[in-house]
Amino acid sequence: MKKVKKYGDFILALIVLIFAVAAAIVVIKMVINKNDGSLFPKNKSNTEATSITKKTTKKKTSSFSKEDDSVGTIFIGDSRTVGLNKAVDIEAEDRQFVVAKVGMGYNWFVKSALPEIKKIKAENTALTKWRYVINLGVNDLSDINKYLDEYDELTNEDSSIQLVLVSVNPVKDYPTITNSSIKKFNSKLMDAGYDYIDTYSALVKKGYETVDGLHYKDATYDDIYDLIESGLSDL
């Protein structure tokens, strides 16, 4: 009987051990999933800094230091860039310019914005390198392929410019534009082979406030500008 009892105790202990090991494996897997594939958590600030910026080497596009005094930066966009400029005064910074107009998109970019950019460059000959920070598309999401073709043409004609594409940012209960359509646009933008700053995901994560579902309150514009500046520093 004692042998039977000892055997039974051994089996019970073995079963308990198996369950303990299985439970430990489950916990470890949960920790790894939470930390994006690592058993130990990554530095949060580093994760956030790299998550909004995608550098590329696919296409002919230059890369300049933000501190380079010979570099001019032109912010190009629609009414959201107009609002951004009003909120943070982009042009108050040395060597920064804004080319933006309410309600505009691809056709305006080609026919009006590019000639205006050419004029800015002609008036600022001390600046020999140019970075275009482009935030267009919310008014004509279906024209993504036209935008990308034009960006390719620009960089093929002038390899000294740096194109930085900024994601189209989210709307909030806006009747004619959906975030699902914006995400599709951004996906193609991100994969186009140019430096890309994903402000969309950062805003969704942090939260954002609009005045009409499409345009933002000043505090959110401040966040967007900080994200772009941080992204430019990472490129």
What's the pLDDT score for residue 46? 36
The answer to whether position 47 is within a domain reads no
What's the pLDDT score for residue 30? 54
Assess whether 189 and 153 both reside in one domain.
yes
Residues of the chain with pLDDT under 50: 1-4, 31-50, 60
Assess whether 23 and 65 both reside in one domain.
no
Could you give the C-alpha distances from 192 to 144, 149, 185, in angstroms and in order?
10, 10, 11
Assess whether 223 and 107 both reside in one domain.
yes
What's the pLDDT score for residue 18? 72
Residue range(s) defining the domain that contains residue 30: 2-42
The answer to whether position 115 is within a domain reads yes
Assess whether 141 and 216 both reside in one domain.
yes
pTM of the model as a whole: 0.77
**Amino acid residing at 30:** M
The answer to whether position 48 is within a domain reads no
CATH of the domain at 104: 3.40.50.1110
